[in-house]
A and B are shown apart, each in its own frame.
Chain A
Amino acid sequence: MSFVDKKKVILAVQSVLCILLVVLLSITAIDLYRTGSAAKAADPLVWVYTREASVSALTSRLPIFILAVAVTVAAAVMGVRGNETSFTDAEIIRDLAVSRVKEPTAEMTAERSKQKRLHIMGWALFGLCMIPILLYITDPAHFALSDAAGLETVMGALVRSILPWSVIGLGCLCVCFILRDKSMARETELAKNCEKVKKSAEGGKSDTKVLNIIRLAVLALSVAVIVMGAFNGSMMDVLNKAIRICTECVGLG
């Protein structure tokens, strides 16, 4: 078996092991919770999770964890690494090709305006999908704690309301990006067939003066705000919160 084949096998085995480990650990946690909840329903003073049950359940998953560690070590010894992320951005290739063109053709200009339209459309659709989310989170009625289940119900409804719109919005953005890429690839092809000119170095330096003024303004603002915070008590609030464990915040309960 060649090194490439060995690498593929190791990567495949490790990928499966990682997914398996996460699935098994999740099932273990859910199983412990369900068993514990059933016992707690019968007697409210019984613990849902116990150290003994947790250790025992996790110990049964230990062989897979050890195997995953062993495969990682073996891969490290053999010099096998995950394939590096690499992405050829159509925009960069286009810019590179276009920068060498003397005069853009009409087709190239048409493709460029199509890309602009797609870009605007993508963000407009994303923005449209964000409107229901914005409306939802700015409506106090959605955060009212009126029913028995309280916060959990409110948060469940919040996630159910924002998640589909987020996915649709990001999906629209994604589709427009892909279509724009295709248009860019076409423009790149067109640019390759055009008359070329020697690339001249870009001259202008960025306007660092304006940038420095903005930086100074932000610096002055942040220092002023920190000083105000020291006087209005928000500094002590940070300390008060940080030296106490908020058990719900870290997920303990």
Chain B
Amino acid sequence: MDNANKKETTKSMRPTKRRLIQLYAALLYNAHLKGFIEGEIYVGKTKIACVPGFNCYSCPGAVGACPLGALQNSLSASGKTVGFYVFGIIMLYGLILGRTVCGWLCPLGLIQELLHKIPTFKIPKSRITRAFSYLKYVILAVFVIAVPLWYGIKHDMAIPGFCKYICPAGTFEGAMALLANAKNGSYYKMLGILFTRKFVIMLIIGLLCVFFYRGFCRFICPLGAIYGLFSKIAVIGVKVDRSRCTNCGACVRCCGMDVRKVGDHECINCAKCMDVCSAGAISVRAGNITLKAPEKGCADDKPDSPKKRITMERVIWGIALAVLAFALIWFNFLDPAGRKETEETAPVVTGYEEGHQLQDFTIDTIGGGSFTLSEYRGKVVYINLWATYCGPCVQELPYFDEFCKAHSDDVEVLAVHSSVIAKTTPEEFLSDKTYSIKFAADTSDDLVWNIVNGTSAMPQTIVVDRNGIVIYNEHGSISPEVIEALYSKASHG
């Protein structure tokens, strides 16, 4: 390899501004770095805001909500309330940024681009890939809209179809990041066919991205499909000066996405085409303001002096880095939400593990009366932590009900709703149901949750034997077979 080639390679390996911004966004979305060490997700108020890019909110580092996950949950709750907030946020991001989010602010986009850097043969875009780029709209219609909507309205269940069956970000950032932490060893108990399937899907999508430039983004991503709908009106984006354009097609040729023309619904506004446009017709604009001008300069622009431009860039980077530094310090050291979690979980360490005597408690039950644990000595007690907005929780309630009916003399089941008040209150949820099990809503200071070491992962089931000793305390869905097996264990163990 000659020197010129080497120089070119070294230059091409240097991170571009876009790459730095992608890294910046990924770090800012996941500023709760101590979550990776502690194996816990962030539970502060900033999660009320959706981030623009694809970033799972069950990632231990995430400090904001995933717009796609929030959208599916809003659609799931359509029977009770309209998810105006999420629709508005997505519309706002679409209007301001459009698919610029995909090109510059999406952590999953960054991962895909890095995977594509693995030196293998690459499959170039073609008419076939262009046709398959419409697959994401089918996925959007079926898994993001139809499935959550139907199950939300008809069955009162939150089934985020895309998250549950496809999303590789959830598997990688959520499941894998949580499982990688030794403190979450008990999560392994939950793993089964769902994990196997999602793990394999994640690997296949990863492989797709190695061979196809942004394979997930082009063929699967429903968030990109939504933002693509705003491409014509998005304020920030790559714009073409038609009076300068020579129709040479160099822009479309160099683009890795399945674009028909610059700025269409497939264009992620990465501005790579600016470098190959010999006419200097392409620029990045925010309305009438030019954010990045071609080297030749647009006819209607007054180009800034290089010194002024460099100063401006430095100021912007300085502010951005200050924001990032503040976010890192705040989310990892100062935020009361993070500290509260550590302080509160510490004293609960005793009394909830297998073999421990569970601390006694009394809680008011829904529909009147109260439940005192010690009153049920001599019976096997199942405590189930649930919430109306948790699909798997709702799904397994009938199992407990059936089981309770079958062993009514020897078993007591208490389903404790999270203290986080959902739009559908447990009372509303139970109004048209005839369950024989006891229900309670946890107190505002999380009485039961603290006693049994309830975490942010739901559902959770705790089984206490006839002597008040914990024989099971696990997160995740539970099958009727396991419920029955635990009963046998309590009876014979």
Q: Which residues of A come within 8 Å of B, CB atoms?
A: 3, 10-12, 14-15, 18-19, 22, 25-26, 29-30, 32-33, 36-37, 43-45, 47-51, 54, 68, 71-72, 75-76, 78-89, 91-93, 95-96, 99, 126, 130, 133-134, 137-138, 140, 143-145, 150-152, 155, 158, 162, 166, 170-171, 173-174, 177-178, 181, 199, 201-206, 211, 214-215, 218-219, 221-230, 232-253
Contact = CB atoms under 8 A, between A and B. Distances in A.
Given A45-B489, A239-B47, A245-B41, A166 B135 contact: yes
Best-surrounded residue of B118, B128, B199 (most CB of chain A within 10 A):
B118
Contact of A245 (B122, B456, B477, B484): B456
Given A22-B206, A33-B196, A240-B422, A85 B125 contact: yes
Nearest to A221: B91
Contacts of B130: 177
A177 B120 contact: no
B124 interface: yes
A155 B150 CA distance: 12
B195 A237 contact: no
B134 interface: yes
Given A203-B243, A250-B174, A229 B86 contact: yes
Contacts of A223: 88, 92
B406 interface: no
B92 A219 contact: yes
B316 interface: no
A44 B83 contact: no
Nearest to A215: B233
Contacts of A3: 1
Nearest to A43: B485
B57 to A, nearest CB: 4
Nearest to A48: B192
B389 A240 contact: yes
Interface of B: 1, 5-6, 9, 12-13, 41-45, 47-48, 50, 56-58, 62, 64-66, 69-70, 73-74, 77, 81-89, 91-92, 95, 116-128, 130-132, 134-135, 138, 141-142, 146-147, 150-151, 154-155, 158-161, 163-165, 167, 170-171, 174-175, 178-179, 182, 185, 187-200, 203-204, 206-207, 210-211, 213, 232-233, 235, 242-249, 252-254, 256, 260, 387, 389-392, 395, 418, 420-423, 455-459, 472, 475-477, 479, 481-482, 484-486, 489
Contact of B235 (A171, A215, A229, A230): A215
A229 B86 CA distance: 8
Nearest to B116: A82
Given A43-B485, A85-B213, A223-B92, A126 B134 contact: yes
A251 B170 contact: yes
B88 A243 contact: no
Nearest to B130: A177
Given A235-B48, A238-B70, A251-B199, A140 B85 contact: no
Given A93-B249, A162-B138, A253-B192, A248 B391 contact: yes
Nearest to B200: A26
Contact of B83 (A15, A219, A227, A234): A234
A98 to B, nearest CB: 9
B458 A96 contact: no
A33 B193 CA distance: 7
A205 B244 CA distance: 12
Contacts of B232: 211
Contact of A238 (B85, B154, B235, B387): B85
Instruction: Classify the secondary structure of B's interface with A.
Output: helix
Given A162-B138, A166-B135, A251-B198, A11 B121 contact: yes
Contacts of A243: 41-44, 47, 420, 456
A158 B195 CA distance: 19
A233 B45 CA distance: 15
Contacts of A227: 88
B13 A22 contact: no
16 contacts: A26-B200, A29-B200, A33-B195, A54-B188, A78-B1, A81-B119, A85-B122, A96-B246, A137-B150, A155-B147, A223-B92, A229-B88, A237-B74, A238-B48, A240-B421, A247-B476
A240 B81 CA distance: 14
A104 to B, nearest CB: 16
Contacts of B58: 245-246, 249-250
Contacts of A133: 138, 141-142
A143 B150 contact: yes
Contacts of A47: 188-189, 191
B121 A218 contact: no
B308 to A, nearest CB: 27
